[in-house]
């Protein structure tokens, strides 16, 4: 995603700048681990000497809770009063006796400990780099920083929340250059549970929050990072993120205090994005939208349901009643309607993230973006929509099986209740054509991309289940529901590997038949089913 | 099934002591022992993983094994003695386990792995208090005995498995199933018989066969059911007899 790329660039810049500002002295690192004999006595004496000289400074003393007679003293290294970053010694004592000494000390430091920059100037540099406002409490600390590549540098250090990370910066205290930056966000993948929009329990792949507090909707188990952002009804911020004006921050990531998630749209958007990734991987060995584990962002709650009365028609249609793929792996899921409201056809509309097929549909648009790039106009646009419907239905069958009331040949039926928005079995139920002879030819809907998707959708249904086309009366022998995987693979291969971006229905026919032939052989049930299905819907 | 430590020395000694008024009244026995029968028991341990409950079920087979025992008997009356014997046996023990580990991404999709852990520790310590009926024919002593028994069983129980997994997490590879030792005590009974041969008035040899039984409940850490072990079984022992 965008901020990831920026982060990489930042890190590279940091390295480059850091090399330029490094001091000449070679650090000598001593890692001490003395527990007995002369070595322990020597280090004990040396530590006392360093304490008297101010080269070690007491940080903390604590009693051993497991061995009450023991005490542990933590000492930070300092150079002429300036802490040496990561230089530290821990001495264990029992009464007057030293039991052990462990630590790391840096030697050979030779630099002027007086900074040229003020702390405020360092803050300004960090704020510019991070895009964050540090606030008055985030005073950077002056330290001597040992460099991995050799030498020491006098630097200011502070942490800042960037768009999606917690980053520690080291700023050269003389030049203001970035010496080093690194993430300090503790990422610990953890499974939680959540209740979806429909009241069903499912796993949530989450991450422990910053500082170990709470949990965030960041999937670290799967190969791509999958984030779910809770926009909390802030449409202005949602649009700013979609337009790239601002990046989302950690505060935007959906969170939960106990990892038992109760925000249905968050639960479903997050888990279904993962399920869809899994479906593509397990079925087709595909690694994400771009085949290279592109990050997935799901934005939920872009508006508040109660704001519908003051919202414009376009906002209602886009952010209440719609879900869409915004490019670059970003999905937005509409809020649906207040329970008391209905569409003019009597349907109620639940959170759109609550429908697995809607999530899979939108993510498949991403797959199309990175593969065939079917042009979103006319028949190629209808094929684009249809491929998303095919994979949406297939994902539903993959996870929900064929039990009554679960997977089906409807699209969006879990959000648009009752009936969904399209039927692959009977497209005309929703006014969509099931035969080429009655295709929509007007300019609306980009030339009928959603409407005419009913024709290839019906091909997918007929090739799988079989049946007779309502218009042509042509019967199709499908491969059978139990063999739906064959038709899924035929379509996936055709639409991602073989289909040109400007394909029309006739091209799609040829491509899918060829795909079936390649996969299962000439004259195979799959090839026969696909061919018969196209014949049945009048596409030659 | 299980073995028990032999007290046979006591019984043999007692038999000798009871044969005549001027016979030795005390007998000491020192034996090698062997638990002939094996014992089987099961354990179920549950654990939390990926927001669900995982479990490992293990079927243990504690086979035969060697041990030792020592005993002392006092003939308080002709043909009757009381004896106290104690000993210990170890058994060759293995555990066939089946681990069910939750999936990190999906509910109710546990991954199953199976395996066997060999060389688990199992030790049975026994103390038997017996009433012994004795008889003698020439240099041979005969005895029959029965009485209550005290058992201590220490056994390794398998804990939460360590495993490797990677996306898509459909399977796991168990890398280690740690074994932790637990022990507990219990009371039971024993019954048996023995025969001895005296080389002199004060030295002899003898063998004993004993069946003993006690149910021991091991209480593992949180997350595991109590494990019931039928300790004891048939055990033979043989060795030196000292009369005085």
Using CA atoms, how far apart are residues A478 and A532, in angstroms rounded to an integer? 9
Distance CA B213, CA B228 (A): 13
Contact A496, A510 (CB under 8 A): no
Cis amide leading into B168 (omega within 30)? yes
A200 vs B: CB within 8 A: no
Q: Phi/psi zone of residue B100: left (φ > 0), alpha (ψ -120 to 50 degrees), beta?
A: beta
Check if the beta carbon of residue A328 is closer than 8 Å to that of residue A355.
no
Q: In B, which residues are within 8 Å of A191 by CB distance?
A: 50-52, 102, 104-105
Which of B48, B50, B54 best tests the A interface by mutation, with the highest count of A CBs <10 A? Answer: B50
| Chain-chain contact of B105 with A259 (C-beta, under 8 angstroms) | no
Token digits of residue A535: 């014949």
B115 min Cα distance to partner chain A (Å) = 26
The two counts, helices (H) then strands (E), for chain B are 1, 14
Query: Which residues 130-189 of chain A have a CB within 8 Å of chain B?
Result: 189
Please give the Cα distance from A149 to A374 (Å, whole number): 50
The 3-class secondary structure across A16-37, one letter per residue, is: HHHHHHCCCCCCEEEEEEECCH
The total number of residues shown for chain B amounts to 244
From chain B residues 163-202, the ones with a CB under 8 A of any chain A CB are 167-169
Closest by Cβ to A282, choosing from B103, B107, B168: B168
Closest Cα of chain B to A205: distance in Å? Answer: 6
Q: What CA–CA distance (Å, rounded) separates A73 from A488?
A: 65
> Residue A239 has which token pair?
């649009």
A147 or B103, which is more confident?
B103
| Identical fold, A189-370 and A375-540 | no
pLDDT at B1 over 50: no
Neighboring chain B residues of A203 at a CB cutoff of 8 Å: 50-51, 103-107
CATH number of A189-370: 3.10.170.10
What chain B holds in terms of domains, given with CATH numbers, is: 8-243 (2.40.160.20)
> Do the Cβ atoms of A23 and A151 come closer than 8 Å?
yes
Per-residue b/e over A287-324, b at no fewer than 16 CB within 10 Å? bbbbeebbbbbbbbbbbebeebeebeeebbebbbbbbb
User: Taking CB atoms and an 8 Å limit, are B107 and A205 in contact across chains?
Assistant: no
Looking at the complex, does the CB of residue B50 fall below 8 Å from at least one CB of chain A?
A: yes
Using alpha carbons, select from A331, A272, A332 the residue that is nearest to residue A302.
Answer: A332
Evaluate if residue B124 carries a pLDDT over 80: yes
Cα separation, B188 vs B197, whole angstroms: 30
Angle between the N-to-C axes of helices A454-465 and A484-493, in degrees from 0 to 180, rounded to the nearest 10: 140
Q: Which of A201, A202, A221 sits opposite B167 (nearest CB)?
A: A221
pLDDT values of chain A reduced to their tens digit, one per residue, 540 residues: 222 223 333 333 333 333 333 344 456 888 888 888 888 999 999 999 999 999 999 877 877 766 778 888 889 999 999 999 988 888 989 988 999 888 889 989 999 999 999 999 999 998 888 877 766 656 789 999 998 778 899 999 987 766 556 678 999 999 999 998 877 655 678 999 999 999 999 999 999 987 778 999 999 999 998 999 999 999 999 998 888 777 788 889 999 999 999 999 999 999 999 999 999 999 999 999 999 899 999 999 999 999 999 999 999 999 999 999 999 899 999 999 999 999 999 999 999 999 999 999 999 999 999 999 999 999 999 999 999 999 999 999 999 875 544 678 999 999 999 999 999 999 999 999 999 999 999 999 999 999 999 999 999 999 999 999 999 999 999 999 999 999 999 999 999 999 999 899 999 999 999 999 999 999 999 999 999 999 999 999
- Beta-carbon separation of A278 and B105 below 8 A: yes
3-state secondary structure at position A369: helix
CB distance A193–B168 less than 8 Å? no
User: Taking CA atoms, what residue in B is nearest to A195?
Assistant: B107
Is the ipTM value over 0.95, yes or no?
A: no
Q: Provide, as residue numbers in chain B, all residues whose Cβ is less than 8 Å from the Cβ of A282.
A: 168
Task: For residues B22 and A391, give the distance between their C-alpha atoms in angstroms, rounded to a whole number.
Answer: 99
Cβ(A266)–Cβ(A228) below 8 Å = yes
Q: What is the mean pLDDT of residues B171-194?
A: 94
Of the candidates B51, B167, B168, the beta carbon closest to that of A191 is on B51
Residue of A nearest to B50 (CA): A191
Is any Cβ of chain B less than 8 angstroms from the Cβ of A282? yes
Cis preceding-peptide flag for A201 (omega within 30 of 0)? no
CB atoms under 10 Å from CB of B176, counted, come to 10
Task: Tell me how far the alpha carbon of residue A494 is from its chain's centroid.
Answer: 28
Distance from CA of A330 to the nearest CA of B (A): 21
Q: Which of A192, A203, A223 sits opposite B106 (nearest CB)?
A: A203
The answer to whether the CB of B181 falls within 8 A of the CB of B121 is yes
Query: Which of A203, A221, A281 lies closest to B107 in CB terms?
Result: A203
Q: Residue A132's pLDDT is what?
A: 73
* Amino acid A31: pLDDT: 81
Strands (E), A381-524: 410-411, 416-417, 422-423, 467-468, 475-476
Residue numbers of A between 337 and 366 with CB closer than 8 Å to B = none
CATH for the stretch A2-23+111-183: 3.10.450.40
DSSP bridge pairs for A348: A417
- The dihedrals phi and psi of B27, each to the nearest 5 degrees, come to -135, 135
Whole-angstrom Cα distance, residue A186 to residue A167? 11
CATH fold for the domain made of A28-107: Nuclear Transport Factor 2; Chain: A, (3.10.450)
For residue B105, give how far its alpha carbon lies from the nearest alpha carbon of chain A (Å).
6
Q: Are B11 and B83 spatial neighbours (Cβ–Cβ below 8 Å)?
A: yes
Among residues A163, A295, A362, A527, which one is catalytic? A362
Among A361, A450, A458, A488, the active-site one is A450
Cα–Cα dist A433/A505, whole Å: 13
Residue A527 bears catalytic tag: no
Q: How far is B89 from chain A (nearest CA, A)?
A: 37
Q: How close does chain B come to A275, measured CA to CA in Å?
A: 9
Burial class (CB in 10 A: 0-12, 13-18, 19+), A404: exposed
Contact list, B107 vs chain A (CB under 8 Å)? 193, 201-203
CB < 8 Å to A259, chain B:
51
**Domain segments of chain A: what residues?**
2-23+111-183, 28-107, 189-370, 375-540
Q: Which residues of chain B neighbour A222 with C-beta distances below 8 Å?
A: 105, 167
The two three-digit tokens of residue A520, written as one number: 């299962």
Does A221 contact B169 at a Cβ distance shorter than 8 Å?
yes
DSSP states along A186-243:
---EEEEEEE-TTS-EEEEEEEEPGGG-SEESEE-SSSS-EEEEE-TT-HHHHHHHHT
Q: Which helix (H) or strand (E) holds A293?
A: none
Of A201, A259, A281, the CB nearest to B168: A281
CATH pick for A375-540 out of 1.10.390.10, 3.40.50.1950, 1.10.1060.10, 1.25.40.20: 1.10.390.10
DSSP A174: T
Among B71, B56, B68, B92, smallest CA distance to B4 is for: B68
pLDDT score recorded for residue B11:
41
Cβ–Cβ gap B167/A223 under 8 Å? yes
Gap from B168 CA to chain A (nearest CA, Å): 7
User: B135 phi and psi, to 5 degrees?
Assistant: -150, 165
Q: Is A301 an annotated catalytic residue?
A: no
Looking at chain A, how many residues does it have?
A: 540
Cα B235 to its chain centre, rounded Å, is 10
């Amino acid at each position: 995603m965008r901020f990831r790329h920026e982060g990489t660039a930042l890190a590279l810049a940091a390295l480059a700048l850091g090399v330029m500002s490094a001091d000449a002295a070679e650090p000598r690192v001593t890692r001490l681990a003395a527990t007995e004999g002369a070595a322990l006595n020597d280090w004990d004496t040396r530590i006392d000497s360093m304490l008297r000289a101010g080269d070690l400074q007491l940080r903390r003393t604590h009693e051993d809770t497991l061995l009450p007679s023991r005490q542990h003293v933590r000492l930070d290294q300092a150079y002429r009063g300036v802490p040496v970053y990561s230089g530290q010694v821990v001495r264990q004592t029992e009464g007057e006796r030293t039991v052990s000494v462990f630590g790391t000390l840096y030697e050979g430091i030779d630099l002027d400990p007086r900074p040229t920059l003020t702390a405020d100037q360092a803050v300004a540099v960090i704020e510019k780099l991070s895009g964050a406002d540090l606030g008055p409490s985030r005073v950077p600390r002056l330290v001597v920083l040992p460099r991995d590549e050799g030498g020491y540098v006098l630097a200011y250090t502070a942490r800042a929340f960037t768009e999606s990370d917690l980053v520690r910066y080291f700023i050269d205290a003389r030049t203001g250059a970035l010496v080093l930056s690194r993430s300090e966000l503790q990422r610990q993948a953890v499974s939680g549970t959540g209740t979806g929009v429909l009241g069903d329990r499912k796993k949530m792949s989450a991450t422990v929050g910053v500082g170990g507090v709470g949990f965030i909707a960041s999937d670290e188990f799967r190969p791509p990072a999958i984030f779910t952002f809770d926009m909390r009804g802030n449409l202005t911020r949602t649009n700013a993120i979609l337009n790239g004006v601002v990046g989302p921050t950690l505060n935007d990531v959906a969170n939960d205090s106990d990892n038992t998630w109760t925000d249905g749209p968050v639960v479903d958007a997050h888990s279904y994005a993962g399920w869809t990734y899994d479906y593509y991987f397990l079925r087709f060995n595909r690694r994400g939208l771009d085949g290279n584990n592109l990050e997935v962002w799901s934005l939920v709650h872009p508006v508040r349901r109660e704001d519908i009365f003051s919202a414009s028609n376009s906002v209602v249609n886009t952010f209440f009643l719609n879900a869409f793929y915004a490019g670059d792996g970003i999905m937005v899921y509409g809020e649906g309607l207040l329970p008391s409201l209905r569409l003019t056809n009597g349907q109620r509309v639940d959170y759109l993230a609550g429908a697995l097929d809607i999530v899979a549909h939108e993510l498949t648009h991403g797959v199309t973006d990175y593969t065939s790039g079917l042009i979103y106009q006319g028949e190629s646009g209808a094929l684009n929509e249809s491929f998303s419907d095919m994979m949406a239905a297939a994902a539903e069958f993959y996870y929900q099986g064929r039990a009554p009331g679960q997977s089906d040949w409807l699209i969006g039926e879990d959000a648009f209740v009752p009936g969904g928005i399209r039927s692959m079995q009977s497209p005309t139920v929703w006014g969509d054509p099931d035969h080429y002879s009655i295709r929509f030819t007007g300019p609306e809907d980009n030339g009928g991309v959603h409407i005419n998707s009913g024709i290839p959708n019906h091909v997918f249904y007929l090739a799988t289940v079989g049946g007779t086309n309502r218009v042509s009366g042509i019967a199709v022998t499908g491969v059978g529901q139990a063999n739906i995987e064959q038709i899924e693979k035929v379509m996936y291969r055709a639409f991602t590997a073989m289909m040109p971006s400007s394909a029309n229905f006739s091209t799609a026919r040829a491509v899918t038949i060829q795909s079936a032939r390649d996969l299962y052989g000439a004259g195979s049930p799959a090839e026969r089913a696909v061919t018969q299905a196209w014949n049945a819907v009048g596409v030659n | 099934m299980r073995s028990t430590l032999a007290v046979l020395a006591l019984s043999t000694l007692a038999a000798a002591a009871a044969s005549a008024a001027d016979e030795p009244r005390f007998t000491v026995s020192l034996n090698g022992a062997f638990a002939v029968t094996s014992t089987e028991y099961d354990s179920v341990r549950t654990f939390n993983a990926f927001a669900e409950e995982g479990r490992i079920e293990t079927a243990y087979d504690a086979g035969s094994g060697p041990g030792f025992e020592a005993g002392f008997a006092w003939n308080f009356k002709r043909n009757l003695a009381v004896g106290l014997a104690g000993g210990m046996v170890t058994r060759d023990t293995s555990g066939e386990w089946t681990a069910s580990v939750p999936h990190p991404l999906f509910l109710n999709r546990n991954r199953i792995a199976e395996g066997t852990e060999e060389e688990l520790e199992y030790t049975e310590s026994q103390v038997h208090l017996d009433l012994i009926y004795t008889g003698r024919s020439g240099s041979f002593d005969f005895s029959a005995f029965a009485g209550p028994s005290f058992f201590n069983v220490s056994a390794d129980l398998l804990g939460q498995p360590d495993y490797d997994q990677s996306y898509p997490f459909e399977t796991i590879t168990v890398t280690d199933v740690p074994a932790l030792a637990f022990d507990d005590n219990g009371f039971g009974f024993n019954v048996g018989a023995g025969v001895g041969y005296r080389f002199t008035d004060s030295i002899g040899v003898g063998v004993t066969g004993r069946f003993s039984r006690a149910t021991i409940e091991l209480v593992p850490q949180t997350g595991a059911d109590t494990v019931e072990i039928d300790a004891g079984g048939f055990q033979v022992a043989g060795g030196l007899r000292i009369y005085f």
